[in-house]
Amino acid sequence: MTTRSPLAPAAFPTLPDIAGVSRRVARAQYKNWDRCDLTYVELVPGTAVAGVTTRNICCSTEVEMCREGIAHGRARALIVNAGNANAFTGYRGREAVEQIVAQVVAHLDCDPKEVFVSSTGVIGVPLPKDKAREGLAKVIGFAGPPASWEDAARTITTTDTFPKGSAASAIIEGRTVQVAGIVKGSGMIAPDMATMLGYIFTDAAVAPALLQDMLNEATGATFNSITVDSDTSTSDTVLLFATGQAGNAPLTTRDDPGADALYAAIHAVALDLAQQVVRDGEGASKFIEVQVSGAVSDESARRVALSIANSPLVKTAIAGEDANWGRVVMAVGKAGEPADRDRLAIRFGDHWVAKDGLPVDGYDEAPVAAHLKGLEIRVGADLGLGEGRATVWTCDLTHGYISINADYRS
């Protein structure tokens, strides 16, 4: 990993063990680096699974096969390869994934649809089958102590500068159920489902259909509400596993006792993980929250917020600590959503800089400039048209982003 992001949390959080989840990591050496790059997670029989995948049309074989597994609704294993995306690799890439699945099926005697594979890294290079086979052989059936959550989180990273994890709990009929998750992501991050690899685990008993409903809802306000650079990856996947080992009566509908509490825990973990991805945005020096209100609908507000958050001119101005609110006006106007120049209001932090299409009377830039010198920046736009509102999170755009991506394959 490169120099740790200045926006990173102080330390990796303490995550609870999830009954029915066993973690292993190994060195497959997909790249010439001195670190583990293969994660294997074994799940107890009967584990329910839900998932969301990239809408990028040029998706990987892993994503295509993952969708089949999500439809099946059950999972026994997860394998994550780091350093090679195995996307745009044709039949060679598919053969590599099929080999991994067959190797795990032979060990677990399970349905191939219950084996989930993800890969992340360079696009256009087939995953080396020999390295995948040998790396997986190191962890299948390994009888030693399990890998820690932090080790698993670190193993799935690529350009990340810190491993990312989060946890929460809920009470279902007097029983405490745990939720824990890890995610990787730093660049090629834009909301179009979820643009990263993320894995959330719970020991609650939940029917696959309800689990999918919960993940779909949580994704909209979390993984689908972040952006680093407006690019949607070919490999992105978020999976939610429920092992059923907590002993609660299986949840089947949102009206079941405890369902709301479980959803709240899943949402909290997803939001924390999503925001950590932004805090690790390639080259990022500032974490930016964009709030849009007064839109004709929530979806319209979201599109305007994303227009602001994805604007290179807005992001570079914030990197330079320049209170150039005209760039926010520009981003609102280009969004293609209903807006009225003469009703628009703009703020930085708690300080309104423009209202009703004009700079505010007696505008003092000093407190705005002071806000922009911090690490946590808030930008607001009120369109004055309706009740729609949305919040999106992004980071600034610095020379560091260019350096990382100009040298990505070297």
Tabulate helix, strand, coil % of the chain (nearest 5). Answer: 35, 25, 40
Contact 170, 113 (CB under 8 A): no
- Of 89, 120, 157, 195, the catalytic one is 195
Strands 287-295 and 376-382 turn out to be parallel
- 134 — alpha (psi -120 to 50), left (phi > 0) or beta? alpha
CA gap 221, 185 in Å, rounded: 17
394 given a catalytic annotation: no
Question: 108 vs 103, 114, 315, 350, 393, CA distance in Å?
Answer: 9, 10, 48, 56, 41
Strands 376-382 and 345-348 turn out to be antiparallel
The verdict on whether residue 405 carries a ligand-binding annotation is: yes
The verdict on whether residue 56 carries a ligand-binding annotation is: no
Q: What single DSSP character describes residue 171? A: E
The verdict on whether residue 410 carries a ligand-binding annotation is: yes
Question: 87 vs 27, 93, 227, CA distance in Å?
Answer: 21, 7, 21
Dihedral angle computed from the Cα positions of residues 357, 359, 361 and 366, in that order, rounded to the nearest 10 degrees? 150
The verdict on whether residue 148 carries a ligand-binding annotation is: no
CA gap 196, 236 in Å, rounded: 5
The verdict on whether residue 282 carries a ligand-binding annotation is: yes
Q: What residues are annotated to the active site?
A: 195
